[in-house]
Structure 1
Amino acid sequence: MASLSTLSRALSHRNAKIFFGASLTAWTGLWMHRIAVSWFAWELTGSAFWVGVIAFCDLAPAVIVSPLAGAVADRADRLQMTMISQAAIGLNGALIAVLVATGQMTIGVLLVFEVIGGIAASFAQPARQSLMPGLVPPADLPAAVALNSLTFNVARFIGPALAGPIIAVAGVWPAIACNALAYFFATATTPMLVVEAAARRGHAATASLFGEMVDGLRYAARHPGLGPILGFAAVAALLLRGVQEILPPFVERTFGRGAESLAVLTAAFGVGALIAGLAVAARGRLDGTTRLAVLGVGALALATAGFVATGWFVFGVVCAALMGAAGSVHGISVQMLAQSASDPAMRGRVLSLWGLITRACPAMGALILGGLGELFGLRWPTLVAVLLSLLVVAWGLSRLGRIAGALEGPPPDHHNR
């Protein structure tokens, strides 16, 4: 393992300090929002299915919006796109907080607001991620990509740690309001970034935005490495990530606990993800990253099986930390491969597909798991998903050499394949 000095060197740049400081603030607010909204939905309905629907409405817009947002991010000013989308997320959160605080919020209205927030987030993700090559020198880009994921997982620890006590003492709406303030702060600091023109815009606009979107999908599908690894990640997220999106039913039904224990579990995911993410980032090289991406899913499947098979909360917390660690290894690895292997003119569209996978597939998994959970209980549908995911891991290992050869070579030139 290489020294962590590679991470500190990436963070030494002025742009990186501003970017990751804003990211940490915004994502801390995001995790506070997720905890608060999912708990609020559980309090309103007492239904695992409706908690799954809330997660679905937040994340599922990525199915339609992400490919379009990636095409926009490759032709628009990415800095302005980031500011506008972050401001929209903040305003959406502020309106939800007001309606909850005044007792006007219903499950139907909440669904609408979560869809709106999901659409804004689908535009923010490719715009922000595509800015990274312009924030640090090329030699520090792998470390910056790793730092981005690490920042998300630090927030995944801090956000629930703050949200749990706030919800227990003051209720749901203050935690949601914190998300609005966090995104307004991130919006206000974005203009402080100094990004060269080439990194702010992928290419000049052509006649057809839809055509560019299709080109991006075709590029990823035909790439001998990106297509298989993104497809692998999508199936794995569909099968395994739904558990983390509908935690309140697990907390109450499996462990017999309340909102503070929900925060403990979510924070455990974050701690595990942070530690494992540091280990992946400190490797300091791309070789072997594809193997980590595949094996990370295998470890996530086993940890998920342990989580749903027990009613002992302490063991559940340990499994949650292992789930966070395995998911972090997989997620950072895939994102590093996508950033490195993508043609620069296609980077926004490729990263939008990664955003689609990380948002839409867990949403669909949560919806399916929530529905099956009402019929069969949460445990058995999850264990079936674990078995299916292990078959997917076997497929990935059987094609590992071919995929790694296409992803871990030298970065592509500035032209479309």
Structure 2
Amino acid sequence: MAALGSAPRFAALTRALSHRNARIFFAASLLSWTGLWLHRVAVIWLAWELTGSASWVGLVAFCDLIPAVVVSPLAGAIADRVDRMRLTMATQLGIATQAASLGLLAATGHLGIAALLALEVVGGTAQSFAQPARQTLVPAIVPPADLPAAVALNSLCFNVARFVGPAVAGPLIALYGPAPAVLLNACAYVVATFTMPLLSVAQTERRGHAGRGSLLGDVAAGLRYAARHPGLGPILALAAAAALLVRGVQEILPPYVERLFGMGVQGLAVLTGAFGIGALVAGVLLAARGRLAGTTRLSNLAIAGQGLALTGFVATGWFPLGVLCAGLLGAVSSMHGIAVQTLVQSASDPAMRGRILSLWGLIVRVFPALGALVLGLLGEAFGLRWPTMAAGLLAIAVFALGMMRLPRMAAALEDGSSPRAAGDGK
């Protein structure tokens, strides 16, 4: 991997995209995630319109993300046992069905807050199964030397979508209401599903191991493997703490938009787009970096950056400064996510990949949901500014803890070897 660092800028990125599988996979990812961001902006605006309450908006975000607590560990174990291509197709069709149902209810005026909560639980469950199934395929679509660039490209697609989706959603919702945005998400996932058979993936990469023993036993083995790994356990724990403290704000933006900045749906689109632009710039730079050395340090520095950017975001009601800090927060959040995913993909035993990626999926879905719920409740009691500033300062303390563990984590995650699953017979 070190050779990648001496290549011309963006050579790693273009080499990863030279593979046909990668072009198909990432095009479908960009399409489906653009639909997902259309959906997210529409749903949180629907919740705000229906209730006018920051705590209800936080609860809607919570219902979308909390199924990962129960589902993600099981989904990862299943992704290691079954055909990952077929599982991805089935779960993506489930997401499309949920979005179509929600969009039709909203379009016909029959959507209430209870139905919205229930449908978001269904959608969150489907997403929890889709995430490890699809992400375990990333190492199968490029050669090992191109894996860091492919992981960065994967995150880059998500963050391009995070810019494009809200940029389209704001005017669309303002002109036609939230329903069309949700229905477009359903269409995007249908199209993405039917690109899967176009991929040429080796049978050995479509399944982690032959299923034997209990599913819960597989889940427990994955948890033991992560906990005992000197790099994976600590870096996932740090990521969970950062997600809890920092990521919740992006899940419940409407109350911040209205109460701190006095803006409406267009302000929501501008701020969400700023998150996406920052993430896009960081994603391009990290995809061009194309090497593993130093990635652990980078992931930890990004935690400090998130804490500082979040504190700046809520320190004032001046909208231009809020937009700038949103862009910075998007950049360092993307940097952290890409770095952790690269390390996890590189350091995990292939037979454990689905289970480890399901833990990452749990972190990026559950902990922002918990953070959103807590910030929503505290925001009703104390206002949004001070609880959010406290969360940003605590994130800086998490960074300090990470620096204390940095040498050991880096040695375990960046040496290019993947410890086998002890006691698992694989």
Distance 1:332 1:230 in 2: 13
Secondary structure of the structure 2 residue equivalent to 1:74: helix
1:349 matched to 2:355: yes
Report whether the alignment pairs 1:70 with 2:79. no
Counterpart of 1:152? 158
- In 2, the alpha carbon distance for the partners of 1:132 and 1:410 equals 17
Deviation at 1:411, TM superposition (A): 2.5
TM-score between the two structures when normalised by the length of structure 2: 0.97
Q: Indicate conservation of the 8 Å contact 2:34/2:162, yes or no.
A: yes
1:413 positional shift: 6.4
Deviation at 1:207, TM superposition (A): 2.1
User: How far does residue 43 in structure 1 lie from its aligned partner after superposition?
Assistant: 0.6
Instruction: Please state how far the C-alpha of 1:44 moved relative to its aligned partner.
Output: 0.6
Q: CA deviation at 1:140?
A: 1.1
Letter in 1 for 2:101: L
Listed as ranges, the gaps of 5+ residues in structure 2 are none
Q: Which residue of 2 aligns with 1:336?
A: 342
Q: Is the 8 A contact 1:345 1:416 kept in 2?
A: no
Alignment match, 1:327: 333
Is the Cα contact below 8 Å between 1:10 and 1:140 reproduced in 2? Answer: yes
CA RMSD of aligned residues (A): 1.0
- The question of 1:86 aligning with 2:88 is answered no
Aligned length: 417
**Distance between the aligned counterparts of 1:415 and 1:100, measured in 2?**
47
Q: Show the counterpart of 1:267.
A: 273
Distance 1:135 1:400 in 2: 31
Partner of 1:111: 117
Q: Quick one: distance in 2 between partners of 1:214 and 1:192? A: 34
Q: Mean Cα displacement is larger for which, 402-411 or 96-105?
A: 402-411
> What percent identity do the matched residue pairs reach?
64
Structure 1: how far apart are the matches of 2:314 and 2:51?
Answer: 22
1:290 aligns with 2:293: no
1:22 and 1:281 map into 2 onto residues whose CA distance is 18
1:372 aligned onto 2:384:
no
Tell me whether 1:14 sits opposite 2:15 in the alignment. no
Q: What is the letter of the counterpart of residue 17 of structure 2?
A: L
| Counterpart selection for 1:57 from 63, 75, 82 | 63
Matched, 1:211 2:217: yes
Return the match for 2:198 from 189, 192, 199.
192
1:407 corresponds in structure 2 to 413
State the one-letter code of the partner of 2:274.
A
Q: TM-score, normalised by structure 1?
A: 0.99
Q: List gaps (5 residues or longer) in structure 1.
A: none
* Alpha-carbon distance in 1 for matches of 2:297, 2:263: 38
How far apart in 1 are the matches of 2:353 and 2:234?
17
Q: Distance in 2 between matches of 1:388 and 1:143?
A: 31
Deviations 1:116-162 (A, max 9, x none): 00000000000001011111111111111110000000000000000
Superposed structure 1 runs of 4+ greater than 4 Å apart? 413-417
1:358 pairs with one of 341, 364, 384: 364
Distance, in Å, in 1 between the alignment partners of 2:129 and 2:144 is 25
Equivalent-residue separation in structure 2 for 1:286 and 1:10 (angstroms): 15
2-structure distance, mates of 1:391, 1:235: 10
Whether the aligned pair in 2 keeps the contact of 1:277 and 1:328 (CA below 8 Å) is yes
Which residue of 20, 36, 42 corresponds with 2:48?
42
